[in-house]
Amino acid sequence: MLLNKQWKVLADSMERRASLPSRPCKKLWLSYRDAKCAFIKGDGTDMMAYMNAADCTMDETARRASNCATSNSRAMRFSREP
């Protein structure tokens, strides 16, 4: 939810034309996150690997939301400057 909210704030702070390339970027990032965490999960027979994969998904999503929040605050700051 937080990541979706940050994406929306970022997209709203950009001009429409500038925000269009963000969609492919989102899809690529989701593919990256899913592939990274699937590698950690392995074949899914090990319970610890399964738990680590769930942690991976949460950590990567939180990291991305934090990066978006930082980008949003920078975009807001620059949009206010003359």
Is 9 part of any domain? no
Q: How many structural domains does the chain have?
A: 1
Domain ranges, residue 42: 33-70
What is the pTM for the complete model shown?
Answer: 0.62
Digit-coded pLDDT (tens) for 23-66? 777 888 899 999 999 999 988 788 999 899 999 999 998 888 88
In a domain, 12, yes or no: no
> Is 10 a domain residue?
no
- Give domain status of residue 75, yes or no: no
pLDDT at 66: 82
Let me know if 28 is exposed, middle or buried by CB neighbors in 10 A (0-12, 13-18, 19+). exposed
> How many of the other CB atoms lie within 10 Å of CB of 7?
19
pLDDT-derived band of residue 16, with 50, 70 and 90 as boundaries?
A: low
Q: Is 48 exposed, middle or buried (0-12, 13-18, 19+ CB in 10 A)?
A: exposed
